[in-house]
Structures are given as C-alpha cells and as structure tokens.
Amino acid sequence: MGHPYAPADLELPGFVPLQLSQSQILVTYIGTSLFVVLAVWLISGRCGRLSKIDRLLMCWWAFTGLTHIMIEGPFVFTPNFFEKENPNFFDEVWKEYSKGDSRYVARDAATVTVEGITAVLEGPASLLAVYAIASRKSYSHILQFSVCLGQLYGCLVYFITAYLDGFNFWASPFYFWAYFIGANSSWVVIPTLIAMRSWKKICGAFQAEKVKTK
C-alpha cells in the first residue's frame, strides 16, 4: 500500500492511511495546549509573589513537559503506530508529522533515541520545573538549565543526523518548513533564552556569595 512520505522507496508494509485531517490534529493539539497554558497562568496568579516572568516560565514548562510525555512518549513506546487498524490521536499525530520527517515512521534509531530521552527524562523534569519555580526551590535554575541543555542537545542530534543521512525526509518544501523547521524551532529558541537566563542567575548567585564572604 502506498504512503505519503519521502523518500518514495521507503518500505512501510501494513501502513494504514491517515484518518484525521491536518487541521483536526492541529486544532486539538493547539487548543489543548492553550487550555494548559491559560490554566497554569491563572493558577500561578493566585500563588502570590510570583513575577510575570516566573509565571510565563511555568506555562512553558507545563506545556513542554506535557508535550514530551503525552505526545512524544506514545511515539517512543508504540513502534507499530503507523500500521494500527484503529489508530488513536497520538498515532495520527506521528503519521502526520512524518510528512515532515519520515525517520519517525521509519523508526530511525537516532530519532527514537532523542525522543526517548526527551519523553522519559526531560518530560518529568519539565513538570518538576513548574513545581520548583512555584515553590522557589534552590534547584530551580539548575533544573531549568539542565532541561534546556537536554532539549538543545536533542535538537542538535536531530538536525545533524538528518543532514548526514541525506536530508531528504520531507514530502514537500511545505512540510520541510512547517514541520521539520517550524514545529521544532520553539525548542531551539525558547531553551536558548531560558538557558542564558539561568546561566546568568547562577553566576549572579556565586558573585553574591563572593561579595558576602569578603
């Protein structure tokens, strides 16, 4: 049976065509994400003494943590997602996303590895960051920095392996820009910004300590 992915000679025995449309998938994902972000924003406003930046960070960590666990987790642990007769929403997400990177449906080892580390380690750590910011833990900045560095390392591996393996995994330029580049760009830009902020805060804490002990 044919499939919509590139390269065309990719073998996918048992492939079951997509049943949800792109807009059904996007509206569900973006709608749920906006609901999560709004809920965290409102609840964090009642915690008292939290700055607007901290509340925004909590929204981001809740969104990215749930994406890692709920969206990327099922991909990692469902190797046969593209051949299921009764696919669920998450199977359909990855059949759609694979139009931008067929290594997902082809189960490329580097892609599965990065997604596995992201889902299993960075997902729970992101949710812990929501709690750490709210309760002003002393490990809040180093935890956020760790997850950001993991996300950035993952993106590097993801993009460099795509380049080394031929850079021909998208069904069209639209899917290259919208999925391969567009959908991943938030996980390059935002972790870079947060990592820079945490780095500065951590250096500041050591400078304060130095001044104090003088």
Residues that bind a second copy in the complex, under the rule CB under 8 A = 109-110, 112-114, 116-117, 138-142, 145-146, 149-150, 153-154, 156-157, 160-161, 164-165, 199, 202-210, 212
CB of 82 to a second copy, least distance (A): 17
Instruction: Write a three-state SS string for the chain.
Output: CCCCCCCCCCCCCCCCCCCCCHHHHHHHHHHHHHHHHHHHHHHHHCCCCCCHHHHHHHHHHHHHHHHHHHHHHHHHHCCCHHHCCCCCHHHHHHHHHCCCCCCCCCCCHHHHHHHHHHHHHHHHHHHHHHHHHHCCCCCHHHHHHHHHHHHHHHHHHHHHHHHHCCCCCCCCHHHHHHHHHHHHHHHHHHHHHHHHHHHHHHHHHHHHHHHHHC
* Closer of 165 and 193 to a second copy (Cβ): 165
Residue from 23, 120, 130, 21 nearest 74 by CA: 120
* Closer of 37 and 121 to a second copy (Cβ): 121
> For 85, phi and psi rounded to 5 degrees?
-65, -35
* Closer of 12 and 157 to a second copy (Cβ): 157
CB of 42 to a second copy, least distance (A): 28
CB of 37 to a second copy, least distance (A): 27
* Closer of 2 and 206 to a second copy (Cβ): 206
* Closer of 35 and 153 to a second copy (Cβ): 153
* Closer of 73 and 150 to a second copy (Cβ): 150
CB of 121 to a second copy, least distance (A): 8
CB of 151 to a second copy, least distance (A): 10
CB of 206 to a second copy, least distance (A): 4
